[in-house]
Structure 1
Amino acid sequence: MAKQNIFDNEIFFEGYKTIRDKEGNANDLFEIPALFSLLPDLKGKSVLDLGCGFGEHCVEFINKGASRVVGIDISEKMLGVARKENPHSAISYMLLPIEDIEKVEGKFDVVISSLALHYVEDFEGVVKKIHDKLNVDGYFIFSQENPINTTYSGEIPRWTKDENGKKLYVNLANYAREGERESEWFIEGIKKYHRMFSTIVNTLSENGFIIEKMIEPIPTDEILKRFPDQDDLFHKPDFLLVKSKRGCMIS
């Protein structure tokens, strides 16, 4: 089955890059700080970055002491930026979908993924491959869109608002109907895959991982002073982050 590669679409790529360059974007305010707060000590460690994008995280892993980093991504455009703007002798970039990580040589101390796994249909298959790729006591750390977000399919308005346009609450539907969701973001036909919290947790647990921590980032008072519109995250956190450790497979 062909893997979805929206980031090589020129319209999507430019739209995404514009958002990431904007001050106060959700990635910089919430997802990235939370993700890095979950990292173990990387000194002397090997790291595999699934969906490495522009490669900024790969460089930061090296700055934090990692001895070897491999970044994979399905997008040639993303990797073009990574190789140009974030090169390093200890970083290898590979054009590869997450589902094919068995093609990466060697094992790793940390496997990390930032906002990519909700594009993966076979989550359990990838989790099993990650377990095989990790050294003993290795870590699998990832962020994804919060399941409250991935359940949304556009069939009903995402928010209920008052007469002044103030968001009152999120409209939640079909949360327990897992599977593909198609949406529009810069372009039509973007496919994401919705899984319940319990499915995510149980898939990790049943495939040899011990969950150590989960984060759903919300704004601090300082962030709210600068970006008051971010108070809608108290209704619906955008992201889910999970830190898990490789244990034994359940027979």
Structure 2
Amino acid sequence: MEFRGSSVYDQTDFFSNYMKRRNRQDSPNNAIEGPIMYELMGSIQNNSILDLGCGDASFGKELLHKGAKHYTGVEGSKQMVEAARSNLLDQNGTTYNETMESYDYPIETFDLVTSRFAIHYVSDINQLFQNINKTLKEDGRFVFSIQHPLTTSSFASKQSGDKRGNWIVDDYFLDGERKEPWIDQVVVKYHRTIEQYFLALRQAGFTILDLREGTPEREHFSSEEEFVRRQRIPVALAFSCVK
């Protein structure tokens, strides 16, 4: 069976196993992608923030503790939304059980829109980026991360298991659906080149300020072995943009 969008996170066993992996200190989310996102966001004091594909909103809780004025999370998985609402109890945050595609984007409302490792689940990024541009205030910022296109081009190397020692890069310039074996399920993601992301952002009216490919830093890893392994291929790509 194949799962699209956030639907896989409503599978109980998958959800449990994913959360264990996600919370490991050396997971790509914590050791690579997280530090980049905070660097690219910079100051968020008094910002009204929209987070697309917010998961359990632990990120939103951190943003509020760092000085954000209000946090809005959008998440398609019911199980994730339940966890998010628990995390945001007594916080100035709201969570909507909507997908990035179905959410009704209010006009010129947010200072910052974020998304972490989620946009590669969306089939139409042109419409998504236009909606994000519409919902940002003038000079509002859009900071997001995705799986690096070198890793989404082909999942053939995952035949050897999730902890790959080698990576196959193939069909890089053929964009579209990719089916990834992941935590005993198959999830559908969408591969695009870096150039395609760049052009879609430009066409939606954004100026790209910065880009990161997730260069590993030793200080973020507890394991020397994992740090060395992560220097072999980029797993994250992050953009910082302004309206």
Q: Is the TM-score greater than 0.5?
A: yes
Distance between the aligned counterparts of 1:47 and 1:224, measured in 2?
29
Question: Which runs of structure 2 are paired with 1:62-211 in the superposition (5 Å)?
Answer: 62-103=64-105, 107-154=109-156, 157=157, 167=165, 170-211=167-208
Report how far residue 25 of structure 1 moved: 1.6
Specify the SS of the correspondent of 2:104: helix
Q: Which runs of 5+ in 2 are unaligned?
A: none
Distance between the aligned counterparts of 2:158 and 2:193, measured in 1?
18
Which residue of 2 is the match for residue 33 of structure 1? 35
- Please, what TM-score do these two structures have when normalized by structure 2? 0.89
Count of matched residue positions in the alignment of Structure 1 and Structure 2: 237
- CA deviation vs aligned residue, 1:223-247 (integer Å, no higher than 9, x gap): 567332332333311100110001x
RMSD: 2.2
Larger radius of gyration: 1
- Please, what TM-score do these two structures have when normalized by structure 1? 0.87
Report how far residue 90 of structure 1 moved: 1.4
Report how far residue 131 of structure 1 moved: 0.5
Contact 1:159 1:171 in 2 (8 A): no
Specify the SS of the correspondent of 1:243: strand
Query: Which of 204, 216, 220 matches 1:219?
Result: 216
- Identity among equivalent positions (%) equals 26
Report how far residue 3 of structure 1 moved: 5.2
Which residue of 2 is the match for residue 43 of structure 1? 45
Point out which structure has higher relative CO (alpha carbons under 8 A, 6+ apart).
2
Which residue of 1 is the match for residue 61 of structure 2? 59
- Correspondence 1:11 to 2:13: yes
Contact 1:178 1:196 in 2 (8 A): yes
Distance between the aligned counterparts of 1:224 and 1:97, measured in 2?
32
Range that drifts further, 84-93 or 60-69: 84-93
Contact 2:5 2:121 in 1 (8 A): no
Give the residue type in structure 2 aligned to 1:93.
T
CA 1:12 to 1:56, structure 2 compared with 1: closer, same or farther past 3 Å?
same
CA 1:224 to 1:21, structure 2 compared with 1: closer, same or farther past 3 Å?
closer
